[in-house]
Amino acid sequence: MKIDVKPEPDFSRIRQVLMLQGRADRPPLCEFGIDRPIKEAVLGRPLTTAADEVDFWIKAGYDFVHVRPLYHLQVVDHHSRSIEGVGVIRSWDDLVNNTWPWQDLDSNVDYSQLYAVKKHLPQSMKIILSTGDIFTRVWMHMGYTHFCHSLFDQPELVSTLMRQHGEAILEINRRSVEILGDSLGAIWYTDDIAFGTGLLVHPEFFRQELFPYMTKIGDLAREAGVPYLYHTDGSLWAVFDDFVQIGINAIHPLEPNSMDAVEVKRKVGDKLCLVGNISVDLLSRGTEREVRDSVRDRIEKLGYDGGYCVGSSNTIPHYVNPLNYKAMIEEAFRGYL
């Protein structure tokens, strides 16, 4: 599948928009995750090497390559009911009487993809580094129901797990930033803290236990002089002011069913760049014309001042219609009409 655009990757384009420094020459594309079948459809060949990975991001019209170090921090008990019920850590004894992967990063984090992509990166592009899921991993290890009970029954256990996971993810970011050096273009933290109608827990929990670590990750971005993006699904009205205080520059993915992106633009568009909002359902089941119309509408209503990057409302999964993905990219390349 050939995308009918002339790729001219230039990281300064997306940086300008992420930092709310006005319109670039066109609205930049920005995507967090893209499944292998879609990448291979664009490449027209199997994706097997870091050079292939870089080639995909160029051919698809992006100004960056998204890279995530490979880390194995999640432990699943297949005999427990589910991650929604009771997980592998039920008590202090479970935590202190076992060795957990986030306590031994040297054995459980692989940075090789960072080195490999950096080696093949064109000078005009940068790497957007992503890590995440401090909160998500804690509740998954405890089981969501048990986690919620423990907020009241075992708050010290929850706080300790948040601290251990927070310090682990912070250290992974530190090492990754050091490895990437001048190839680093931005830091993208990911952690779903909300669902369609609100936050998963009270905002005060996040302010006490999660946001301090997000601030420290943001400090790494500021020290490196790069933008700081955040991915979370759901309705976020209760914490947009917190995001600004944390120092986040851009918010992704703005699920259409969770928030009206135009209202988000009106309320915080002068403080946060908006990223995404093109419905994954539309990309999967809609027509090419509908996709193009949606992209054009988002550029006009969210990107009139430059503070918007075109992308999906989550990620590009394997079931997205490749021709619709192609249409989204081509429409973004038409620019500000």
- What is the mean pLDDT for each group of 10 consecutive residues in the chain (337 residues)? 95 99 98 98 98 98 98 72 75 96 96 98 98 97 96 98 98 99 99 98 99 99 99 98 98 98 98 99 99 99 98 98 99 94
The neighbouring-strand residues paired with 110 are 70
Q: DSSP strand E in 237-282: where?
A: 250-252, 273-278
50, 113 contact by CB (below 8 A): yes
Cα separation values, 288 from 223, 227, 279, Å: 42, 32, 13
The neighbouring-strand residues paired with 257 are none
- The per-residue pLDDT for 80 is 52
Cα separation values, 238 from 193, 200, 264, 267, Å: 11, 11, 12, 12
Full-model pTM: 0.96
- The per-residue pLDDT for 223 is 99
- The per-residue pLDDT for 245 is 98
Complete domains list, the chain, with CATH? 11-70+105-132+162-333 (3.20.20.210)
Nearest to 239 by CA among 199, 190, 200: 199
Angle in degrees, CA 77, 212, 18, rounded to 5: 100
- The per-residue pLDDT for 72 is 85
